[in-house]
Amino acid sequence: MSEQVVPVIWRGDCLEVLDQRRLPGEEVWHSYRDSVGVFEAIASMQVRGAPAIGISAAYGVVLAAFAARDEVDWRIAIERAIDELAESRPTAVNLFWALRRMQGCLEGIGSGSEACAVLEREAIRIHEEDAAANRRMGELGADVIQEGSDGPVEVLTHCNTGALATGGHGTALGVVRTLHERGALSMVHMDETRPWLQGSRLTAWECMREGIRCSLNVDSAAATLLASGRVRWVIVGADRIVANGDVANKIGTLNLAILARHFGAGVMVVAPASTLDRETPDGSGIVIEQRDGNELRRVGERDIAPAGVAAFNPVFDVTPAALIDVIVTEQGVVRNPARHTNPLASLV
Ligand code: MRU
């Protein structure tokens, strides 16, 4: 069995980023020594997935601190980098959560070199905590799935929520991994996830490397798969879970939740506490990233639509809490979130 992949490696003076745009064909690593480079790596989707974005941004702040170490205005330079990194992508709340944690470390710090040491420790802590949270969520989520099954299960997942999207193991794919480790997984079905193909390029790659039984389908085959009755659970990650339990995740998640409700499958959302946004009351307040229409008109160098045709390309959607059966975090499990006045209250 191959070792689990990692999306980023902190080398003490630079951040190495695996360019996920080139997978599965090539494993290309880039090395960044400043926060502008890390900003570009996030904005251009070399590194993606909500927790991995937060982790990378935290290291970006460390690099900004290193560059400003001997400046009189070191604090202003670090805060400027934090503001810039916050503009890299709008939807995953883990980015803002990590930047706020880094910003909080600056309180009471008296020099640029002290800031470097404190910020580096904090970024490493954010990274390690995420890996541990994923392991815990894997156990909790797998327990819920095994409660109602009398043998290995088939599940359906969307996008990539694996080691590549996190500090290790994965969120939704972490539950799949844990089921696999327990001998309780008969198959993970993977939506290809147009237009970036995180399902076919990344999730399939992770699963194949580790011998996890997997099968790829076009996004629009999900209805047929769920209608067959083979798949009892749809398992997805999240970019933001707001106070009433509504969930922003990769475009197409809402379709799956509607289908799952129709065909009687469960919907499990798996995300660390860093994905919780208690300040936004409901899904209508979530900023949904819109990307260039060329992502739909072209595949690589090839036109797959007439040049200039109008295109609608939101890359996330919002699934209402009423369509979610279980939210799993490392702090615990919330069943039927829409039945609670404050569904996130028990997660502390
Ligand atoms: O656009 P991406 O690839 O960053 O979107 C990723 C997703 O939507 C994931 O499902 C989500 O970030 C959870 S990753 C553990």
Fold adopted by 2-130: Four Helix Bundle (Hemerythrin (Met), subunit A) (1.20.120)
Q: Are 325 and 248 in contact (CB under 8 A)?
A: no
Q: Atom of ligand 1 at shortest distance to CA of 94?
A: 12
CA 231 to chain centre: 23
Q: How confident is the model at residue 300 (pLDDT cuts 50, 70, 90)?
A: confident
So which residues are the catalytic ones? 239
Determine the distance separating the centroid of ligand 1 and the alpha carbon of 168, expressed in angstroms. Answer: 14
> What is the distance between the alpha carbons of residues 104 and 139, in angstroms, rounded to a whole number?
31
What pLDDT, in 10s, does the model give residues 144-160? Answer: 999 988 899 999 999 99
% of the chain with per-residue pLDDT over 90: 97
Kindly provide the ipTM of the predicted complex, given to two decimals.
Answer: 0.99
For residue 121, the tally of other CB atoms under 10 A from its CB is: 12
249 labelled binding-site residue = yes
| pLDDT for res 4 | 86
What pLDDT, in 10s, does the model give residues 7-59? Answer: 999 999 999 999 999 999 999 999 999 999 999 999 999 999 999 999 999 99
| pLDDT for res 1 | 58
What pLDDT, in 10s, does the model give residues 78-126? Answer: 999 999 999 999 999 999 999 999 999 999 999 999 999 999 999 999 9
| pLDDT for res 197 | 98
> What is the distance between the alpha carbons of residues 337 and 322, in angstroms, rounded to a whole number?
7
**Mean pLDDT on 259-276:** 98
Q: Is 178 helix (H, G, I), strand (E, B) or coil?
A: helix
What is the rounded average pLDDT for all residues in the chain? Answer: 97
Determine the distance separating the centroid of ligand 1 and the alpha carbon of 195, expressed in angstroms. Answer: 13
**Class assignment of domain 137-339?**
alpha beta
297 labelled binding-site residue = no
> What is the distance between the alpha carbons of residues 100 and 167, in angstroms, rounded to a whole number?
18
| pLDDT for res 148 | 80
Q: Which residues neighbour 266 within 8 Å (Cβ) at sequence distance 6 or greater?
A: 232, 233, 234, 260, 325, 326
| pLDDT for res 3 | 80
Determine the distance separating the centroid of ligand 1 and the alpha carbon of 51, expressed in angstroms. Answer: 8
| pTM for this entry | 0.97
342 labelled binding-site residue = no
Ligand 1 shell residues, CB under 6 Å: 48-51, 92, 159, 161, 165-166, 171, 198, 237-239, 249-250, 315
- Domain limits, the chain: 2-130, 137-339
